[in-house]
Amino acid sequence: MRVAVVQFSATTDVARNLAAIERLTAERALVGCDLVVLPEATMHDFGPPDLPLGQVAQDLDGPFVEKLSRLARSLSTTMVAGMFERSGDPERPFNTLVAMGPDGGLRASYRKIHLFDSFGYRESERLSPGEPAPVVLPIAGMTAGLMTCYDLRFPELGRLLTDTGADVLVVPAAWVRGEHKVEQWSTLLRARAIENTAYVAAAAQCGRTYAGHSLVADPMGLVVSELADEEGSAVVELDPKRVDQVRRTNPSLQNRRLRVVP
User: What is the DSSP pairing of strand 136-139 with strand 121-122?
Assistant: unpaired
How far from each other are the two terminal CA atoms of the chain, in whole angstroms?
28
Give average pLDDT by consecutive 10-residue segment, the chain, 262 residues: 98 98 95 97 97 97 98 97 98 98 98 96 97 97 98 97 98 97 98 98 97 98 97 98 98 88 60
Contact predicate 200/228, CB 8 Å: no
Strand partners, 144: 137, 168
Does domain 2-255 fall under CATH 3.60.110.10? My reply is: yes
Distance, in Å, from the CA atom of 141 to the CA atom of 239, rounded to the nearest integer, reads 10
* Dihedrals phi, psi of 23, to nearest 5 degrees: -65, -45
Contact predicate 193/157, CB 8 Å: no
Distance, in Å, from the CA atom of 157 to the CA atom of 107, rounded to the nearest integer, reads 20
Contact predicate 41/57, CB 8 Å: no
> Which residues are part of the catalytic machinery?
40, 112, 149
Contact predicate 99/77, CB 8 Å: no
Strand partners, 204: 173
Would you state the pLDDT for residue 261? 62
Would you state the pLDDT for residue 74? 96
Would you state the pLDDT for residue 259? 75
- The model's pTM: 0.97
If we measure between CA atoms, which residue out of 33, 41, 13 comes closest to residue 140? 33
Would you state the pLDDT for residue 258? 84
* Dihedrals phi, psi of 225, to nearest 5 degrees: -155, 145
